[in-house]
Amino acid sequence: MNINKKEMNQKAVAVMTSGGDAPGMNANVRAIVRTIINKGARAYCVMEGYEGLVKGGPEYIKECNWEFVRGWLSEGGTNIGTARCMEFKQREGRLTACKNLIDAGIDALIVCGGDGSLTGADLFRSEWPSLIKELLDTNQITSELYERYKHLNICGTVGSIDNDMSTTDATIGAYSALDRICTAIDYIEATAYSHSRAFVVEVMGRNCGWLALMAGIATSADYIFIPEKPAQTNSWEDQMSEIVTRHRANGKRTTIVIVAEGAIDNNLNPITCDDVHKVLSNRLKLDTRITILGHVQRGGTAVAYDRILSTLQGVEAVNAILESTPETPSPLIAVNENKITRKPLMESVALTKSVADAIAAKDFDKAMSLRDVEFKEHLNNFMAINSSDKVLPKEITDKGLNIGIINIGAPAGGMNSAVYSITTYCMSQGHNALAIHNGFTGLVRHDSVHALSWKQLIGWQSKGGSEIGTNRHTASEAGIEEVAAMFQKHKFDGLVIIGGFEALVSLQELQEARKDYLAFRIPMVLIPATLSNNVPGTEYSLGSDTALNSLMQYCDIIKQSASSTRARAFVVEVQGGNSGYLTTLASLACGAQISYVPEEGNISILQLEKDIQNLKESFKNAKGRDRFGKLVLKATNASLKTWDSHTLAKVLTEEAKGAFDAKAAIPGHVQQGGLPSPIDRTRGTRLAIKAVNFLEEFSKNNASKNEVASALLDAKLGKTEYIESNDALDSLIETAAVLGTQGSHLKFTSVKKIYETDSDLIKRMPKDIHWTHIRNIADELVGRERV
């Protein structure tokens, strides 16, 4: 291939996918290609992985324009292909690949794949100086080309459904695979219930049990087998039989056992689905079936999380590769604490491979420690809630705390998961969990407080909506005095509130009312749950991921409809109140051409004119090709007094002057409904157990608890007046807290601080918006210009 002088002065970056395909790879390639072009460099795609590097030529190393990756966000697999290549494992093959890259004028390479693919990429870079020197010595390249291409920079993004790469919290495709598994098990559960059957489900993961563990939590499986915590050779059959038998005796009609494909016992003997089937059918006499999900786990479009993760990592990969020098170690683009980071590629790969080495050496504690920060915590949580039916109700009542659970605000995916996990964890710890039905008004008007039974909770982990009911009335709207009387009547030792901004207001009201009502001087914690994700003190609220996936699926369908009609755009109205979180993340996940959010003020005429021109040019560039529907996302409260979605669509159509037409599409409460996503299920469990731990800690460490209880009794009987100093009340401030997600860590912050310093009470929003940078990325990847 002949490279002209202008092109030689312009950086050229290639991207390839390798190893097993993973949902989100196409989104990663799209982001990389368009960011390369935005940075003024030339973008190339290497077709068919390392095989394409070895074969070379314009058929396999293709220069790509902006339109090449159009529509890729919603497509599964990898459109540029992936293939095993034995030739590349030999030096001769890598020499050929070196020559092919130089012929194509490539300066740098970004590889999306697993640990094996990334190991090959770093080996290629380390050998590059000797490879290109050999090409020069054998007269296959000129000295000019040698000087121009004597260094090759490489960057890796991790595409793997196994989530097995150390140093990153999540890999591209893992949550999509988990979604497939949970959907399949939800379906299996329905047929199992009909026949009272047992099912043994095999999931992928190689040496990593992350998929099996997270699916076990998300679907309330009876038992799981994972390689990091192997089963005991001589006792796993007895242990599994005991748990399954107990669950059945306590009223469960179904049995689900999840087996990771790398499952072993502590002597490293494989445990297969057939082994588990024999125990369930022969020993327990259960009608048992085996389901091996196989490559269904890899298929289909990526969930919203993977589209967003792969896009943000793709943008960062280009930034990293363009900033690299010959001395820069090859970077790996990771996500840590919800932030996109760069890690040394080979250190990450070495740590990943050491997990398998630790398992082979039977050092299972080390293998566990090398997983992401949440892995061990999730495993402990699973074991705790799975044993919840061992504790008798009498033991709970006599020894434990009385913990109230209440939902406040609109229903959100994951609410039931949180209630389920709070209650079952309380049971496992000997506490009495009391569900308050239908919010504070239900408490005051109907005294609707009930202990939930283990049997009653079966299936709640995967149910949408709110099984104990919810409403938007705050504590003061229901009546603080009446609420206090009910707290006193039911002798609550702690309270978990699950909900959105109304829940935050309610917690602050209860905290403020402590000076007047002793019943509120108990530890209380808020688990944020709202699709708007507008609760101060947290980056993530339960329900926002479920809503984002529902909205994304809606937009995919709308976009397909728009593509069927030439030059059609849809204006999609997105919920979220004064928060543009859902609009912004959906815009990135769906590739919306335009998005409007309340945080940016009213939609200006200048910006609208620019956006209309942008749409005209975009349709013109399409030249009537397929898959070219356009989306405009408008948050409901964006320019609420000036524009509704129908009016905006009419204006777009009128001003387009025939270049395109626009229609309004309003998903409404579709965004609130549906089954909770695996992310909301598993995070709901994690938040729930942390919340109960918080209540336990403050109840245990509160030295004045018995004095308060005694004073409460005296006050009730009219024997005394109860007066405390401000210092005593101030000491209780930290016991009313919001449980916030900050990155991958959970943090408790007093509601008083959040309410007084971090909240915009008029707009019902946090003062600090953590996601604004995503708006710029979303605009850049669709070529939107801002005024």
Residue 296 labeled ligand binder:
yes
Residue 45 labeled ligand binder:
no
Q: Name beta bridge partners: 578.
A: none
Q: Taking a C-beta distance cutoff of 8 angstroms, is the pair 558, 629 a contact?
A: yes
Residue 248 labeled ligand binder:
no
Which distant-in-sequence residues (6+ apart) come within 8 Å of 295 by Cβ?
none
Nearest CA among 71, 633, 76 for reference residue 306: 76
User: For residue 155, what is the enclosing H or E element?
Assistant: strand 153-158
Nearest CA among 77, 305, 72, 175 for reference residue 781: 72
Active-site amino acid positions? 162
Distance CA 454, CA 206 (A): 34
Secondary structure class of 722 (helix, strand, coil)? coil
Residue 180 labeled ligand binder:
no
Residue 663 labeled ligand binder:
yes
Residue 787 labeled ligand binder:
no
Which distant-in-sequence residues (6+ apart) come within 8 Å of 333 by Cβ?
155, 156, 157, 158, 313, 316, 317, 320, 340, 341, 342, 343
Residue 295 labeled ligand binder:
yes
Residue 590 labeled ligand binder:
no
Secondary structure class of 733 (helix, strand, coil)? helix
Residue 159 labeled ligand binder:
no
Helix, strand, coil shares of the chain, percent, nearest 5, are 50, 15, 35
Residue 371 labeled ligand binder:
no
Which distant-in-sequence residues (6+ apart) come within 8 Å of 265 by Cβ?
230, 231, 232, 233, 236, 271
Residue 671 labeled ligand binder:
yes
Residue 669 labeled ligand binder:
yes
Distance CA 408, CA 436 (A): 10
Only one residue has tokens 């697999």, namely 77
Rg of the chain over Cα atoms, rounded to whole angstroms, equals 28
Residue 641 labeled ligand binder:
no
Residue 205 labeled ligand binder:
yes
Residue 548 labeled ligand binder:
no
Residue 764 labeled ligand binder:
yes
Q: Which two tokens stand for residue 757?
A: 């310093």
Residue 117 labeled ligand binder:
yes
CA 351 from centroid of its chain's CA atoms: 24
Q: Name beta bridge partners: 207.
A: none
Residue 531 labeled ligand binder:
yes
Residue 262 labeled ligand binder:
no
Distance CA 274, CA 285 (A): 15
User: For residue 433, what is the enclosing H or E element?
Assistant: strand 432-436
Residue 107 labeled ligand binder:
no
Known binding-site positions for ATP:
20, 84-85, 114-117
Known binding-site positions for Mg(2+):
115
Known binding-site positions for beta-D-fructose 2,6-bisphosphate:
472, 530-534, 568, 575-577, 663, 669-672, 764
Known binding-site positions for substrate:
160-162, 197, 204-206, 261, 289, 295-298
Known binding-site positions:
20, 84-85, 114-117, 160-162, 197, 204-206, 261, 289, 295-298, 472, 530-534, 568, 575-577, 663, 669-672, 764
